[in-house]
Each structure stands twice: as C-alpha cells, then as structure tokens.
Structure 1
Amino acid sequence: MIAMAGIDLSGNSLSQEIPNGLTTLLGVRYLNLSGNHFSGCIPEDIGNLVLLESLDLSGNQLSGKIPQSLAALKSISVLNLSTNELSGRIPTGDQLRTLTDPSIYSNNPGLCGVPLEDCINSSTPTQTEKSQDEDREALWLYCFVAAGFIFGFWLYWGIFLFRSETWRCAFYQYVDNMQAKATKKMYSCMSCFQASGSE
C-alpha cells in the first residue's frame, strides 16, 4: 500500500476520465481534482479510499450517478461535488448524513435527495395522473352505456312502429347514421378531454 497524505491536482487542464489508479492509493486522506476538465463518471470503487477525509471534484464535467460506495467512507468530513453534470439520487450513509450543506452538490441539475429536494419517481404516476386516468375510463364507460341504451331503445321500438319492410330498412339506416354520428362525437369529445388533461 502506498502511503500518501494527499493529492492536489486542482486548477489544471486535466481531461478525460478520472484515472482508476487513484482509487488504489488506499492511504490517501485528501484528494482535490477541482477546476479541471474531467469527464465521465466518478469511479465506482471510490469507496476503496477508506481513510479519505476530504474529496473535492467540483468544477469538472463529471456525469452519471454518484457511486453508492461513497456512502461507505467513514472518515469523510469535507466533500464538494458542485458544478458538474451529475444526476440521480444522492447516496445516503452515516457519515454523509452529517454533510448537510446543499452547496456541496449545487449546479448539478440532475441531482436529488438529501440535502437537496427529494427525488420524484417518474415511473410511478402521481395521484393526480391516476385520478385523471380513472375519470377518462369512467367517461368512456358512461358514453358507451348511454349510446348502447339509446341504440337499443330505438331499435326495439322501431320494430313495432314500422311494420313494412321499406320503413323498417329506412329506420335501420337512420339508426345506423345516428350511431355513427354519436360515435364520432364521442371520439371528438374524448380527444378534447385527453388534450386538456395532458396540458
């Protein structure tokens, strides 16, 4: 194991991904890579640096999620991941809970979770969306029930009202036309309803 108190490479023009070799320096207590042009993800095995007390990766172009292994660092007391392109939920851990200053994660629009705003699970519809879907389904059901009732009512009474075959055919044609118009009207109403619900 290489014994090294700290590494400070801040304020240079270093680019590409953070070298994986840095996470093998298990004796490192201070790591400052801020103010460079590092891109890619934070190394998954950052948690290997078990003695790390200070980590500053601010002012780069790092993306992706913050590795869960960061939460395993028991000695971390100074952390700065601001001004990157990180996203996802901030890991939680006993030591990370003590770092309550939201500025250490600032300027990462995709980040959420404590100490920033809570994450919203986009895959789970909100209560409002569920309610709107239920309202649409209920409206469809009512429309079809009403259309079926009207069609059945006139069909039943039409048999008695129009005895001759000529009148009966004309009546059936009329009912068919009315049903087509009603169906078209319902689809038009539902389209307007869905359009207003999606706004």
Structure 2
Amino acid sequence: MGMDLSSNFLSQEIPKGLTSLVGLRYLNLSRNHLSGGIPRDIGNLALLESLDLSGNQLSGEIPPSLADLKALGALNLSSNGLSRRIPTGSQLQAPPDPSIYSNNPGLCGFPLQDCVNPFASNQNQMSQGKDMETLWLYCFVVAGVIFGFWLYWGMLFCNETWRCVFYQYVDNMQDKVITKKIAAYRTSKLRHK
C-alpha cells in the first residue's frame, strides 16, 4: 500500500521501475540525496494519495503527468532544485499552500509567483545595459571636450609665452594658406593665357 524510504541517504535518480507499482497509495522519499528529475511517468501511480519528495536534490521540471493523479491529497516537493512552471491541474493547484513548492528557486506559477519570460527579461536587461553604456560614453566624450577646451584656453591665457607661440603659429598658417592660394591663382592665370 505504501513505501516510506525517507532519511536513508539514498542517492542517484529515482528508479524508473518505481512508477510501475500502480497499487501504491503513499510514497515518501524525503530527506535523501536523490538527484535527477521526477520520473515522467509518475502519473501511472493512479491510486497515489500522498507523495513526499522534499529535501533532495531533484532538478528539472515537475512532470505534467503528476497533475493526472486524481487521488493525490498530500504533496511535498519543497527543498529541491526544481524549475519551470508548475503544471496546471486541479490536484496540483487545489492546495493553495505555497510551502509544498518552497526552496525551489526556479519554480513559478500558481501558487507561487507568476512566470516571467526569461528571454524577454534578458533582452530588456541587455537593452538597458547598452543604453547605459551609450549614456556613459556620451558623458565621457562631453566631459573630455569641456575639460580639453578649458585646459587649452586656460594655458593660453595664463602663460604669455605660449600665447605668443600660439599666435605666431596661427599667423604662419595663414601666411602659408594665402601663399598657396596666390600661387594657385597665378598658375591658373598663366594656363589661361
């Protein structure tokens, strides 16, 4: 009728053959070191009234076939590594006690918090990250331009020697430009003659 193997340091996966024991009414595998996922065909245990898999290292999703267990009145899947949405079914959602799913950070859906699309969330976070990077880039560019402008003009006005050198450089550049323009003008006049 029932099987209680709790607190026995059992390890590895739940044996697949366990789901062929269709006469089981209660199954307690809590407080062991079981890993892997809950067997997909756990729904074969049609007479199961109580299932306790808490305190293990089970991972993956809760199989949808668990929702087919019509006689299931007591369920505890807490303190595992289960993830994804809790299957919809009257048996799994009738007890509004969220503690039966507690300490499974990846689980979501009723009676826990609603599931958020992780792809959309990641896209949103990436978009916000890129926006912040762009904003910081603009801030640094503007700050650099302002700092460079005031540093340049401050040095020119504070140091008379540099100011004279700067004005001399500007005059030399103007002379070169004017000389080149005059030379180009004379060359063009000579060609037209």
Match of residue 117 from structure 1: 113
**After the TM superposition, which residues 1-199 of structure 1 pair with which residues of structure 2 at under 5 Å, given as runs?**
5-124=1-120
Q: Deviations over 1:56-98 (max 9, x none)?
A: 0001110111111111111111000001111111111022221
State the aligned residue count.
Answer: 135
Aligned residue for 1:51, secondary structure, equals coil
Structure 1 length-normalised TM: 0.61
Q: Deviations over 1:28-57 (max 9, x none)?
A: 110000011100000000011011110000
Residue 128 to residue 62, structure 1, CA distance change in 2 (3 Å) = closer
How many Å apart are 1:124 and its aligned residue? 2.8
Structure 1 residue runs without a partner (length 5+): 137-165, 168-199
| AA in 1 matched with 2:79 | T
Match of residue 184 from structure 1: none
Aligned residue for 1:99, secondary structure, equals coil
Q: Deviations over 1:137-172 (max 9, x none)?
A: xxxxxxxxxxxxxxxxxxxxxxxxxxxxx87xxxxx
| AA in 2 matched with 1:61 | Q
Aligned residue for 2:34, secondary structure, equals strand
Structure 1 moving runs of 4+ over 4 Å: 125-129
Structure 2 residue runs without a partner (length 5+): 133-179, 182-193
Q: Distance in 1 between matches of 2:34 and 2:124?
A: 41
> RMSD between aligned alpha carbons?
2.6
Q: Distance in 2 between matches of 1:127 and 1:108?
A: 24
Q: Distance in 2 between matches of 1:108 and 1:47?
A: 21
Q: Percentage identity across aligned positions? A: 69
Q: Deviations over 1:84-126 (max 9, x none)?
A: 1111111110222212100001111111111111110112359
Structure with greater proportional helix content: 2
Aligned residue for 1:123, secondary structure, equals helix
Q: Distance in 2 between matches of 1:122 and 1:11?
A: 35
Structure 2 length-normalised TM: 0.63
| AA in 1 matched with 2:8 | N
